[in-house]
Amino acid sequence: MRRRPFYQQAEWRSLAGVTLLAVVLTVWHHRASNANRTSLPERAVGVVIGPVQSAFSRGWGEVALAFRSVGRARQLAKENERLKSQIAEKEARLTERQNDYLKYLRLLTELGFPEPLPPDTIPARVIGRSGARFLRQTVHIEAAAGHEIRQGDVVRTEKGLVGRVVAAQGNRGTATILLDPNSGVAAVVQPSGVVGSVLGPDLTSPDPDLLRLVRLDRNAAISIGERVVTAAIGETYPKDIPIGVIEEVIGGTAPGESKTALVQPYVAFDQLDWVQVVRPTG
Amino acid sequence: MPILSHCVMFLLAAALERAWPQPLRVASVAPDLVLVLVACIGITRGPVAGYAAGLAGGLFSAASTQGPFGTILLSHMVVGFLAGQARGRVFVDHILAAPVVAVLATLLAALIQLVVAPPPAFVPWLGQLAIGLLYNAVISPVSYTYVRAVNQRWPARAEA
């Protein structure tokens, strides 16, 4: 069946109605424009669109911000990777130098030359560390072949005291470190000259990484920031090896109560790599 | 119900068009979402619905852009009506027809604007038209998918 032309169909009324509405709207718009106003339908549409447009703008702003944040995070990640690789490279170089140094020492020994270090100082690599904090705090060290580590040797770094060898076999040994709850070192505070004992940390205290300087006289004039070094008492440790710095002084106020100082050790025990093994004289 | 749905879509399209983010604009040109929507409604629901959609879309577009009111109404209504004439043809059922319809609708609206309210500078207007054509063609499948979904939910009555 042939389709009738559009103008002969009933829909023309709808089209005429829509056209009439369009004309009315346009006339309304022009009349309002001539009076420097906005027509009511346009105002109504504007009122409805405004908040939606504002929400879209805010949404885009948030999305743009998120993209910028992701970009910045990527940049930081790249920078972090670059720095990590630089550190790894430097650590590799350091290890290489230290290995060369050990080879040099071995060659000196084999060729019969005197060692440049004092005969009682042996460089050793930290090859292990004990686990949980409530267990004994020890490090396992290994010197170059040909060097013997003995029980009682003192372990230190260039920064300060690490601990003492408690078990040794050949060029390997196990040393308790200052963080061990049972460690004890005779110490002197500089410059005040007050003498005491540095004990391992109190694991129940809020800061279990601080050593305790105890057996201080209640009138001892010590203050925060003073250095604590090993004292020349007994033959366990050579004197004047740095231990740490006083962070806090507690007690000494009640009658008969002695003072205790909390000491921040110089050595970062969780970053130990190489140490020096010192043989106490006498 | 479809009228309400389309009105909400016109509102969203007009608001989105105005708030189109600067980084997504090509030479400061944003897609004409309302016009594309009118064309899509026309090809899925027929000339009368397309004509009425042109009136509604034109009102939203003119009120939000502060452009020549009568020209915008006229161009949208003509686009809706003529797009409706293509309803029922085989090719418009395919989603890839949407870019073609969008391009034709944009050209037709531009032609009406050129005749009724000529732009002050022709060459820049032509450049913006070219970008608008491409942008509208890219956006059109989304509009077409939405309109088709509405049409399936509330099928149109038989029209011309």
Here the ipTM equals: 0.82
The b-or-e profile of A155-170 (16+ CB within 10 A means b, else e) is bbbeebbbbbbbebee
A 6-25 → B contacts, CB under 8 A: 6, 9, 11, 14-15, 18-19, 21-22, 25
**B79 touching A, CB under 8 A?**
no
Q: What is the chain A residue with the closest CA to B14?
A: A49
Picking from A195, A275, A206, the residue whose alpha carbon sits closest to that of residue A247 is A206
Higher pLDDT, B31 or A120: B31
Question: Percent of chain B, pLDDT > 90?
Answer: 25
Q: What is the mean pLDDT of residues B17-28?
A: 81
- Alpha carbons A275 and B6: distance in angstroms, whole number: 78
Encoding tokens for residue A53?
């447009």
- pLDDT, residue B156, reads 65
Nearest beta carbon to residue B64 from set A3, A18, A49: A49
Q: Per residue, what are the HEC states of B26-94?
A: ECCECCCHHHHHHHHHHHHHCHHHHHHHHHHHHHHHHHHHCCCHHHHHHHHHHHHHHHHHCCCCCHHHC
Quick check: B159 pLDDT over 60?
A: no
- Cβ neighbours of B23 in A, within 8 Å: 64
Place of tokens 């743009």: A64
- Interface contact A49-B159, CB threshold 8 A: no
Tell me, what amino acid is at A241? I
pLDDT (tens, 9 = 90+) of chain A, 282 residues, equals 455 665 666 778 888 888 999 999 999 998 988 888 888 988 888 888 888 887 888 888 888 889 889 989 999 999 999 999 999 898 888 888 878 877 887 788 788 776 565 556 888 888 877 755 556 688 888 888 778 888 889 999 888 899 999 888 888 888 989 888 788 888 888 888 888 889 988 877 777 788 998 888 777 788 888 899 988 776 678 888 899 999 988 877 777 777 888 999 998 888 888 899 988 775
CB pairs under 8 A between A and B: 81
Q: Could you say which DSSP state residue A216 is in? A: E
Asked whether the CA dihedral A267, A272, A273, A276 is positive or negative, the reply is positive
Place of tokens 């003192």: A154
B 43-62 → A contacts, CB under 8 A: 47-48, 51-52, 55, 58-60, 62
**Where does the pLDDT of residue B160 fall: very low under 50, low under 70, confident under 90, or very high at 90 and above?**
very low
- pLDDT, residue A83, reads 94
Q: How far is B69 from chain A (nearest CA, A)?
A: 7
